[in-house]
């Protein structure tokens, strides 16, 4: 099939391997673009989203290390925007070069994206997402007294600052993104889950210290631009049940109801495969005529040619 509107959510391995340098990440995205451009060659419209977890963590550490009265550290929402801009630039550049090599005339645009969250979201009362460096218990308590931030002990490795991870409600720039798609452009948006903002009673937006799951933000964006297909990329070609057991089985075509059953059996790891499954389920539930796919970057050619990957349909 061609002429589809597709939102593709990149996994972290598409950007960062073991080398966190800018050069290594640009090289990784060059390889990523070689796969993504296949959708364009197939005649599809493409919106690309991406994570930023390691990058925003590294930038946070740099800000903390350099923090002073004359050079104060920036808040988390600003750091998310900064990494959205830098990764967007790298990916935009890589996609433009990949298109140029193939003689395809197409514009590529990155949008720093504000994602609206609910100020009453329970996540704000119970921050859970660890960010930044490890502290001793004494250091963490001193930081809590000084900054009113929340810290939690992290798997025996020390204490870390935790921030809320609220659910996304809407994408503020959805109309601009839609206009770019309609004009035939490749769009990069909602990087790192987007910059979390709350909408005040007067309609004004305010950035908040939080992070948004990029798969859920991508799902909201896919709905708002009326995508035909929502693709979540991860490290494997297929989702498996009974993983690493003698009765391990790959899921090729699966329905919403079947995934509900698998979730009740705790088949998918929280913080890993589970949010990807939940995001794709929400997409097909809200757009029953559409499909979602979980697969790997390397499997995209097979997905385009014969639908290979874990294909999720509402029923």
pLDDT tens track, the chain, 315 positions? 668 999 999 987 688 877 889 999 999 999 999 999 999 999 999 999 999 888 888 898 899 889 999 999 999 999 999 999 999 999 999 999 999 999 999 999 999 999 999 999 999 999 988 877 788 999 889 888 877 778 888 777 889 888 899 999 999 999 999 999 999 999 999 999 999 999 999 999 999 999 999 999 999 999 999 999 999 999 999 999 998 899 999 999 999 999 999 999 999 988 789 999 999 999 999 999 999 999 999 999 999 999 999 999 999
The pLDDT value given to residue 29 = 95
The pLDDT assigned to 254 comes to 98
E strand or H helix at 90: helix 76-101
129-154 as b/e, with b when 16 or more CB fall inside 10 Å?
bbbbeebeeeebeebeeeeeebbeee
Helix, strand, coil shares, percent, the chain, to 5: 40, 25, 35
Task: Collect all residues with Cβ–Cβ distance below 8 Å to 170 and sequence separation of at least 6.
Answer: 115, 116, 220, 224
pLDDT (0 to 100) of residue 147: 75
* Residue 88 to residue 134: CA distance in whole angstroms: 29
Please give the Cα distance from 40 to 63 (Å, whole number): 38
Q: Which of the residues are catalytic? A: 12-13, 129, 214, 276
Model pLDDT, residue 146: 79
- Of 206, 224, 212, the closest CA to residue 164 belongs to 212
Q: Which two tokens stand for residue 255?
A: 């329905």
The reported pLDDT for the residue numbered 131 is 79
């Amino acid at each position: 099939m061609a002429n589809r509107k597709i939102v593709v959510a990149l996994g972290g391995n598409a950007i960062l391997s073991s080398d966190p340098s800018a050069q290594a990440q640009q090289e990784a995205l060059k390889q990523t673009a070689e796969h993504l451009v296949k959708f364009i060659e197939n005649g599809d419209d493409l919106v690309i989203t991406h994570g930023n977890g390691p990058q925003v963590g590294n930038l946070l550490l740099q800000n903390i290390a350099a923090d002073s009265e004359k050079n104060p550290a920036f808040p988390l929402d600003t750091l998310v925007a900064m990494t959205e801009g830098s990764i967007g630039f790298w990916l935009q550049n890589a996609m433009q070069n990949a298109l140029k090599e193939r003689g395809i005339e197409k514009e590529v645009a990155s949008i720093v994206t504000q994602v609206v969250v609910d100020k009453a979201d329970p996540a704000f009362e119970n921050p859970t997402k660890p960010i930044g460096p490890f502290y001793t218990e004494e250091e963490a308590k001193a930081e809590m007294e000084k900054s009113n931030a929340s810290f939690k002990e992290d798997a025996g490795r020390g204490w870390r600052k935790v921030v809320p991870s609220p659910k996304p409600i809407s994408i503020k720039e959805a109309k601009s993104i839609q206009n770019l798609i309609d004009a035939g452009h490749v769009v990069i948006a909602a990087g790192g889950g987007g910059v979390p903002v709350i909408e005040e009673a007067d309609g004004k937006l305010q950035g908040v210290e939080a992070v948004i799951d990029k798969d859920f933000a991508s799902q909201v964006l896919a709905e708002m631009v009326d995508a035909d297909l929502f693709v979540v990329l991860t490290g494997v070609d297929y989702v498996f049940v009974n993983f690493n057991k003698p009765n391990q089985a790959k899921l090729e075509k699966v329905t919403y109801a079947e995934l509900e059953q698998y979730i009740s059996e705790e088949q998918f790891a929280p913080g890993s495969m589970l949010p990807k499954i939940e995001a794709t389920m929400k997409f097909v539930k809200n757009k029953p005529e559409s499909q979602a796919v979980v697969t790997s970057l390397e499997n995209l050619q097979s997905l385009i040619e014969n639908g290979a990957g874990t294909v999720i349909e509402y029923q």
